[in-house]
Homo-oligomer: A and B are copies of this chain.
Amino acid sequence: MNNEGQEREVEGRERGFRAVEARPRNWLVPVILLSLREWNSYGYELMERASAFGFEAMNPGTLYRTLRQMEKEGVVESSWETSRGGPARRMYTITDAGRSYLDFWAKSLEQYQHTMDNFFRLYTGRPLQEKEDSGDE
């Protein structure tokens, strides 16, 4: 039944390693902004869309709190939608500042992708190819 000594699994979880969160902090922010750039939406719906971006068991609290924070920062705006049956929805719209912020995020993520490429190049045994990096901002 149990294959003793057969701990061939390199999975890590089985070895008592801490779980790894390979997403950046506030990853939810660009995901929400991208969603809202496509069409206006509200928390409950955005939760489902976020699942497609690596938030498997999305916690409602985290999402709603993030949305309110984003509104404080002026990257989204909201208004209550009560015109239909059921509990009211807080409908969110992306602002111009939000679009800029999304662009800003995209640039950072792109740069991080290059860094990860370097990581994998070393990891798989190929040498690092440090570009001349003229774009020093």
- A53 within 8 Å of B by Cβ? yes
**Interface pair A54/B115, CB less than 8 Å apart:** yes
Smallest distance from the beta carbon of A114 to chain B beta carbons, Å? 9
The stretch that binds B, out of A57-65, A77-85, A119-127, is: A119-127
Residues on B with C-beta less than 8 A from A15 are 97, 100-101
Residues on B with C-beta less than 8 A from A137 are 11, 48
What number of copies of this chain does the assembly contain?
Answer: 2
Contact of A17 among B18, B104, B111, B113 (CB under 8 A): B104
Which chain A residues in 86-128 approach chain B with CB under 8 Å? 97, 100-106, 108-113, 115-116, 118-120, 122-123, 128
Q: In the assembly, what is the distance between CA of A81 and CA of B100, in Å?
A: 51
Residues on B with C-beta less than 8 A from A120 are 106, 109-110
